[in-house]
């Protein structure tokens, strides 16, 4: 149904990186979600009133809160689409992460409230009138929520929306919650055990867990989450596809919201090449990154001696010896500067972020290795950490 509506009402509906298309998808899924959640909460309130089940009533309140979550997600997408201004030159895309976190906080709050009510019901159990109508209502509710999970998850991935992904997680949480409520009703109807309160506790725990998980996922990009390996590989493939660029390093990806990526990197180019020609190559690489991946890119050129046999041999020897220490250490920007009494061996060494506490120790190991290989050398080593 959503796909049909998208074709009917969204212009260029397959252009998922277009801000207008993303906002239109958010609006479409939001309207459908609001209608379905209002209907579900209404029939569940009715089922809760005729059965006296606290779990069903709490589930109805949960669906009602989902309506508020959908409004938050839509508002977040709308605000995220605002054009850059002098105070926010990178745009307002990160508002989407905040709206996703807000939905998650709402989920956790409802879970806590449901837990409190369920504990009260355990302490003072009430009579539950279990009827076939209530069971049918809950089964239909599970099917509707499963459908909502599918379309929110599918569209959330297509337009890379943290808000819609959060709504999708909320929908699958509701499926599980309603299934537990259904189970407690069936047990009460056919076995005579009133586990309504315990069912509510189980639902509460799952809702809180889901909410915390969404909070972590939506806040992580704000804290500087590493780019996905697929994106790193795609950037490397594009940049290194140019024959003049022999390698790349120091890749940094900044995310200012879905579809708003800013990339900087160092590209190794022949030191004896024509500066203007190489600059044109780098410009082309930057353009291709933006066209294919939607990344605004800044590429720094690192000139490399290509035909210096001594430097190449020394670099190859050093790489082989470092591999004996650790295969996780890589080097770049290797160069040799000769002086009247000694030679400086200069390079950057990239070590895993997990080895941050051993930075000084690793640097000393590498310095000793260089001196062991070339006794008249003075090592000048810069230790770096990968940003991807």
Output the pLDDT for position 362: 93
270/288 same-domain check: yes
End residue of a domain, out of 277, 304, 331: 304
Output the pLDDT for position 126: 66
With 0-12 CB in 10 A as exposed, 13-18 as middle and 19+ as buried, what is 14? exposed
Residue 48 structural domain? 1-223
- Kind and range of the H or E element at 219? helix 196-219
- Asked if pLDDT for residue 306 goes beyond 90, the answer is no
Q: Lowest mean pLDDT: which of 139-148, 149-158, 168-177, 285-294? A: 168-177
42/134 same-domain check: yes
How many whole angstroms separate alpha carbon 12 and alpha carbon 7?
Answer: 8
With 0-12 CB in 10 A as exposed, 13-18 as middle and 19+ as buried, what is 154? middle
263/364 same-domain check: no
Query: What is the rounded radius of gyration, in angstroms, for the C-alpha atoms of the chain?
Result: 29
- Asked if pLDDT for residue 129 goes beyond 70, the answer is no
94/74 same-domain check: yes
106/165 same-domain check: yes
> How large a percentage of the chain has pLDDT more than 90?
32
208/315 same-domain check: no
Q: How many CB atoms lie within 10 A of CB 161?
A: 30
Contact 215, 105 (CB under 8 A): yes
Q: CATH number of the domain that 282 lies in?
A: 3.30.70.1350
Output the pLDDT for position 91: 84
48/69 same-domain check: yes
149/246 same-domain check: no
End residue of a domain, out of 265, 287, 304: 304
181/135 same-domain check: yes
Tokens of 189: 């109807």
User: How many independent structural domains does the chain possess?
Assistant: 3
Assign 249 to helix, strand or coil: strand
Tokens of 320: 């082989």
- Kind and range of the H or E element at 28? helix 19-51
204/245 same-domain check: no
Name 53's Cβ contacts closer than 8 Å, sequence gap at least 6.
Answer: 47, 128, 134, 181, 184, 185, 196
Q: CATH number of the domain that 137 lies in?
A: 1.20.1510.10
Contact 10, 21 (CB under 8 A): yes
Section 194-215 average pLDDT: 80
313/287 same-domain check: no
Name 135's Cβ contacts closer than 8 Å, sequence gap at least 6.
Answer: 182, 185, 186, 189
Q: What is the pLDDT of residues 142-165, one digit of tens each?
A: 999 999 999 999 998 888 887 788
SS (H, E, C) 67-118: HHHHHHHHHHHHHHCCCCECCECCCCCCHHHHHHHHHHHHHHHHHHHHHHHH
End residue of a domain, out of 223, 241, 260: 223
56/23 same-domain check: yes
């Amino acid at each position: 149904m959503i796909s049909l509506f998208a074709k009917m009402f969204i212009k260029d509906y397959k252009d998922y990186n277009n801000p207008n298309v993303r906002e239109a998808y958010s609006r479409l899924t939001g309207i459908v979600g609001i209608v379905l959640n209002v209907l579900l909460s209404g029939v569940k309130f009715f089922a809760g009133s005729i059965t006296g089940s606290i779990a069903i009533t709490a589930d109805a309140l949960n669906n009602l809160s989902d309506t508020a979550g959908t409004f938050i997600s839509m508002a977040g997408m709308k605000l995220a689409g605002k054009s850059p201004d002098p105070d926010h030159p990178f745009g307002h895309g990160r508002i989407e992460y905040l709206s996703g976190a807000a939905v998650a906080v709402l989920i956790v709050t409802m879970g806590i409230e449901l837990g409190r009510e369920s504990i009260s019901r355990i302490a003072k159990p009430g009579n539950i009138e279990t009827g076939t109508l209530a069971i049918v209502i809950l089964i239909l509710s599970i099917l509707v929520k499963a459908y909502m999970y599918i379309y929110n998850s599918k569209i959330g991935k297509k337009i890379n929306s943290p808000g819609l992904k959060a709504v999708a997680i909320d929908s699958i949480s509701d499926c599980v919650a309603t299934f537990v409520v259904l189970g407690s009703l069936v047990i009460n109807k056919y076995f005579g055990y009133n586990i309504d309160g315990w069912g509510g506790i189980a639902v509460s725990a799952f809702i809180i867990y889901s909410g915390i998980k969404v909070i972590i996922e939506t806040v992580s990009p704000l804290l500087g989450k590493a780019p996905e390996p697929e994106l790193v590989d795609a950037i490397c493939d594009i940049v290194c596809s140019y024959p003049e660029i022999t390698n790349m390093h120091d890749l940094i990806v900044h995310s200012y919201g879905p579809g708003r990526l800013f990339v900087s990197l160092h590209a190794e180019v022949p030191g004896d090449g024509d500066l203007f020609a190489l600059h044109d190559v780098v410009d082309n690489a930057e353009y291709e990154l933006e066209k294919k991946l939607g990344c605004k890119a800044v590429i720094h050129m690192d000139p490399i001696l290509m035909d210096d046999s001594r430097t190449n041999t020394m670099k190859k020897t050093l790489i082989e010896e470092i591999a004996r220490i650790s295969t996780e250490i890589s080097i770049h920007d290797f160069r040799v500067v000769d002086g009247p009494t000694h030679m400086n061996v200069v390079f950057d060494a990239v070590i895993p972020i997990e080895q941050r506490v051993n930075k000084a120790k690793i640097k000393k190991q590498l310095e000793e290795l260089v001196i062991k290989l070339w006794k008249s050398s003075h090592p000048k080593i810069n230790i770096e950490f990968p940003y991807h």
